[in-house]
Structure 1
C-alpha cells in the first residue's frame, strides 16, 4: 500500500511517500480504509525524536494517530464493528510504527468510535486527539462545573477550539487566549477572547477580577506561570504542554484512547455542540508540507491529510 514513512528522526524532509508494509489485522483490531488523517503537533515532535524517551520508534515509522475511514476487515474477536462501518479513531499505541498516514491502518477497537454522520471525512479526522484531550482535561482533570470561569490557552487552535465549545456546553464561562485576528473565531465558538503576550494577566483580570476557577494550559513556560497566578484561591490548573505544572500545584495530562469518551464526542458533534474547523488539507503525498505548516504554530483549527480513492469500488 501507499503511505508516508520515515527511517530516522529529523525534519519534514525525512518523510517519504511510497510503498509501506501492509498492516496485519490482530484479533482485537479492524482494518480501516483511510479517508483522512489529521496532523497534530505531537506528530512532528515524534518525527523529530522529542518523545524518544517515552515512545520507542520501530523504523520505518508511519506517522499519524488521528483517522477517519471505513472498516474493511474486522479481526476475529471483534463484534463492535462490521465491514462498511464508518469510523474515527485516535490510533495511538505505546510505540511508534503503525500510524494513520497511509491507505490502510489496523486500528485496535479500543481506539475507535463511529464517525459523526454530519461531519465530512476531513472534519471527522480532526476530532479524535484534540477532542479527547479537551474532553478528558475539562471533565476529568479539571472537573469543570456549571458557572465556573475557565481560562483556555491557544483557543483558536485544535485543542483550544474544542475546549471552548465543550466548556460552554458544560455551562462554564470560557476565556480564551488568541491573536486579535482570531478573536471573532473564538467568539463564534462561545468564548471571550483575550490577546496573548505582554499584559495578558491584566487583560484576564479585567474579565475575571476574582481569578479563574480553572486554567487549561496548552503552551507551557511563562504562560503556565501566568495561568497559576490568575487562579482563584481554590482554582485548578492542568497543562498538556509542561510537566513543570506540578511545581504550581497543578496536574500534567496526556490524552489516552477511550472509546466511550470518543463516542460521546461523536454524539456531541452530531448534536451540533462541537464543530471541527479544518483550515487546510493536503494530499497524502504532501504530508511533509502539512508537517511544515503545523510546525509554524499559527493554525486555526486543524490541518488534515487526505487519501484519494478515485475508484470507490476499491475495498
Structure 2
C-alpha cells in the first residue's frame, strides 16, 4: 500500500480552452471503503475532454463543477486497495475511465460501481499502458456505433471521419466483422486509412460521386463520426436510416450512439482483440503532463491520425 500524500494533476479554475489547463501539485486522493487507487502511467485524450470543460452549461450536464480535473481515459497500476475490495491487489495493471480527472498521478476508482466514467478493468498481458489508456471512450463508442448498423460479410460500410480516435476502432471492428470499409478523411490521411484496412475517400463536395466510383455496387451501411456529411451522403446513396448511425450530431430518423450505449463486455472484448494482435491503436503523439495545453490543442484540431496520449 502506497501512502504518497501529493501528486501532479491537471486542474481548471475556469471553464474554457486549453489555456485554462494548469498542472499543479495537489493532495493525492486516498482509497476508501470499496475503492482502489491507481498510480496513472498514461492518459488518453478525447474530444469529449475539452468539449465538456469548454463552458459551464456543458460541464453541468456532466456533473462537473469548479475546480475541475481533466481527461477521462487512463491506464496504470493499483497502489492502494480499500476495505471490502475484491478482485484487485496492489501491483495489478488496470485501465478504464475516470471522468474528468484522469490526467493526474493518482485516481481513485470505485470498481463495484460499474460505470464507464468510474471503472477499472484488468489490463491484459500484451497491451501496453499507452494503448490501454486509449481504449475506454473511443473503443466503447465505436462498438456502440457498429452495434447499430451491424456490419457483416457482404456489407460495404461508409465511415466518416475514419482517421480520428473513434475511427481507428470503427474501421478495424467493421473489418473484423467481415465488412468492406470506405473511410472518409483528408487527402493526407489516405495512406493511414489504407493501413487500417479502409479504402480512402476525400471528404467534401462530390463525396457521393467518389464513393460511387469506389463502390458501384452500392453502400449498405454508414457511420458518421464527425457531423452530418456522411449521413447525407449515405442517404443520397440509398442507405436506409436504420443502417446509419451518428456519434456527434442528431439527425431525425437516424440513431445516435455513444460509449454509454455499448453492450456489456464491449471494452473487455476490444482489449482482448488488441492483446491478440487483431486490433491496433495508432498513437499519433505523446506528451508529458507539463505539455497538456499543447497536447489538447493538437487533439482539438481534429486532424490527428490516431490517438494523443499524456505520459505520467
**Once superposed, what is the RMSD of the aligned Cα atoms?**
2.0
Determine the structure 2 residue equivalent to 1:100: 102
Residue from 140, 148, 161 that aligns with 1:141: 148
Q: CA deviation at 1:26?
A: 4.5
| SS, match of residue 42 in structure 2 | strand
| SS, match of residue 274 in structure 2 | helix
CA distance in 2, matches of 1:169, 1:221: 25
Deviations 1:35-71 (A, max 9, x none): 0001111111112127235212222111111001001
Checking the alignment, whether the CA contact within 8 Å between 1:176 and 1:193 is kept in structure 2 is yes
Give the total of aligned pairs: 298
Counterpart check, 1:131 vs 2:139: yes
Checking the alignment, whether the CA contact within 8 Å between 1:91 and 1:108 is kept in structure 2 is no
Determine the structure 2 residue equivalent to 1:67: 74
Determine the structure 1 residue equivalent to 2:43: 37
Q: CA deviation at 1:210?
A: 4.6
Residue from 255, 259, 268 that aligns with 1:263: 268
CA distance in 2, matches of 1:179, 1:112: 35
Q: CA deviation at 1:118?
A: 2.3
Checking the alignment, whether the CA contact within 8 Å between 1:217 and 1:227 is kept in structure 2 is no
Determine the structure 1 residue equivalent to 2:124: 116
CA distance in 1, matches of 2:228, 2:160: 12
Checking the alignment, whether the CA contact within 8 Å between 1:113 and 1:259 is kept in structure 2 is no
Determine the structure 1 residue equivalent to 2:258: 254
**Paired residues for 1:144-159 under 5 Å:** 144-159=151-166
| SS, match of residue 243 in structure 2 | strand
Residue 20 and residue 259 in structure 1: after superposition, are their counterparts in 2 closer, same or farther (change >3 A)?
Answer: farther
TM-score by length of 2: 0.89
TM-score by length of 1: 0.88
Determine the structure 1 residue equivalent to 2:3: none
Residue from 1, 9, 19 that aligns with 1:3: 9
Residue 228 and residue 114 in structure 1: after superposition, are their counterparts in 2 closer, same or farther (change >3 A)?
Answer: farther
CA distance in 2, matches of 1:234, 1:34: 42
Residue 240 and residue 28 in structure 1: after superposition, are their counterparts in 2 closer, same or farther (change >3 A)?
Answer: farther
CA distance in 2, matches of 1:23, 1:205: 55
Checking the alignment, whether the CA contact within 8 Å between 1:213 and 1:234 is kept in structure 2 is no
Residue 114 and residue 230 in structure 1: after superposition, are their counterparts in 2 closer, same or farther (change >3 A)?
Answer: farther
CA distance in 1, matches of 2:229, 2:241: 21
Residue 306 and residue 234 in structure 1: after superposition, are their counterparts in 2 closer, same or farther (change >3 A)?
Answer: closer
Deviations 1:148-169 (A, max 9, x none): 1111111111110111111110
Unaligned stretches of 5+ residues in structure 2: 1-6
Counterpart check, 1:282 vs 2:284: no
Deviations 1:229-272 (A, max 9, x none): 334347511111002x2x1x211112128772211111100111
Checking the alignment, whether the CA contact within 8 Å between 2:10 and 2:70 is kept in structure 1 is yes
